[in-house]
Amino acid sequence: LPGTKVKKENHSYSKIYQLMLLKAINPVNGEVIQSYPSHSEAQVVEKINQTFHAWQSWKLSSFSERSDSLYKTASALRDNKEKLARLMAMEMGKPIKAGIAEIEKCADVCDYYAEKAEVFLRDETIKTDAQKSYVCFEPLGVILAVMPWNFPFWQVFRFLAPCLMAGNCAVLKHASNVPGCAIAIEELIREAGLPDNVFQTLLIDSKGVNSVIENKLISAVTLTGSVEAGKKVAEKAGSLLKKTVLELGGSDAYLVLADADLELAAETCVNSRLINSGQSCIAAKRFIVIKEIAEKFTLLFKDKMSAKVMGDPFDEKTDIGPQARNDLRDALHQQVLESIDKGAICILGGKIPEGNTAFYPPTILTSVKKGMPAYDEELFGPVASIIIAEDEKEAVKIANDSIFGLGAAVFSSDILRAEEVARKIEAGSCFVNSLVRSDPRLPFGGIKQSGYGRELALY
């Protein structure tokens, strides 16, 4: 954990690995919290071997044994939620109240699969001409997970809980800027009483992922991250005929129809846009508003956006923390500036605060058109794009005019009408009069360049 001295004397790193440090940097002030020596290639191979060996026993364990381990993990998560939330606040700037909620959700997903997995994975009897036919589900082996920094615990437990209950084991390559979180997950799993090595963290950077995929003991890969990272992992895994699940970027469209409850719509849209300080694949990005109510909605939206508190992630009153890294904040700002150069109008925010900090203010762009980054690209931060549509038909067309297809929402007082519109939107999931969220009971994933495969639920 940050603050813990790393003992180096017992490790035999080659020169190239001695020079490779994973640094946890506080995004509030730019200070290095802790540096972690990466694992050498030999250490990575040994850890994979250990996990494969652990799988030989784990795959033979009963559902009751696995569920007991997951219930204990859920309990350990709840017992340590404040400490783990502080760790997230330090390493990637998540407001403390959001961090506690994230850990509670991780515990919930462990409980969910501990209870449901045996039913989900029971044999399916199929009536055929044979005396007996059935489909059974067997463990695949060791799964490599490549996970992002924005939800450093939830993203891991979202894959890990069903993975373990299915009899698989896993190794984690976490984002390089949250090494403390990655280590904390392994320690928590171990302290919860799971068998040694059923889950291990690999401290490597992205350049080391290919060699892990190439390891013959890795059976499949799951990745949550950028489109480019997904393409690289899919290409490497595909060349080796290893299965993949990819959850990539999103530019979620929220359609506000003429008969919508504008107070509800504006409140929900702001809350969705600012999930995790705007750094969420399923945060609302594009707000497509019918022309006749656009002015009123925009005023409400601006008032509610302005009321949100940006500040110290350790302060429970804070709604918006810093962006995870300065370079990510700078890239976001460049997208804003380019959109303004092409005709977008900034009616709130849009300026980088002074000092060595990764904060970026809540920002609203109007007059957004095709050809602008605010229309075409994913803006991974607290920047809202308001796009005007003449009518419902054009609103659906604009929503689908995207390379992404992760989530979407429709706001209307007519629920049946809203549901009909939702079915026309090209996205992995669509919500009505509510923000997009992942739920252990519902399948989660995207289409188009938002990825393929599903996590959560039976799927």
> Active-site residue numbers?
247, 281
- Cα separation, 459 vs 441, whole angstroms: 10
- Cα separation, 86 vs 100, whole angstroms: 9
Q: At what angle do helices 262-273 and 291-306 cross, to 10 degrees?
A: 50
The two tokens of residue 202 are 């690999």
CB atoms within 10 A of CB 446: 26
- Cα separation, 134 vs 26, whole angstroms: 53
Task: Give the residue among 176, 165, 174, 233 at the shortest CA–CA distance from 201.
Answer: 174
Could you tell me if residue 352 is left (phi over 0), alpha (psi between -120 and 50 degrees) or otherwise beta? beta
- Cα separation, 84 vs 404, whole angstroms: 32
Residue type at position 244: T
- Cα angle: 149, vertex 304, 334; to 5 degrees: 50
Residue 455 half-sphere exposure toward CB, CA atoms < 13 A: 29
Residue type at position 355: G
Task: Give the residue among 283, 289, 280, 167 at the shortest CA–CA distance from 224.
Answer: 280
Q: At what angle do helices 63-79 and 81-92 cross, to 10 degrees?
A: 70
Task: Give the residue among 177, 147, 184 at the shortest CA–CA distance from 25.
Answer: 177
Strands (E) located in 353-406: 363-366, 383-389, 404-405
In the block, residue with structure tokens 């209307």: 412
Cα 326 to Cα 161, 251, 331, 453, distances in angstroms: 32, 22, 9, 32
In the block, residue with structure tokens 């970027």: 249
Bridge partners, residue 125, by sequence: 134
The β-bridge relationship of strands 447-448 and 404-405 is antiparallel
Let me know if 124 is exposed, middle or buried by CB neighbors in 10 A (0-12, 13-18, 19+): exposed
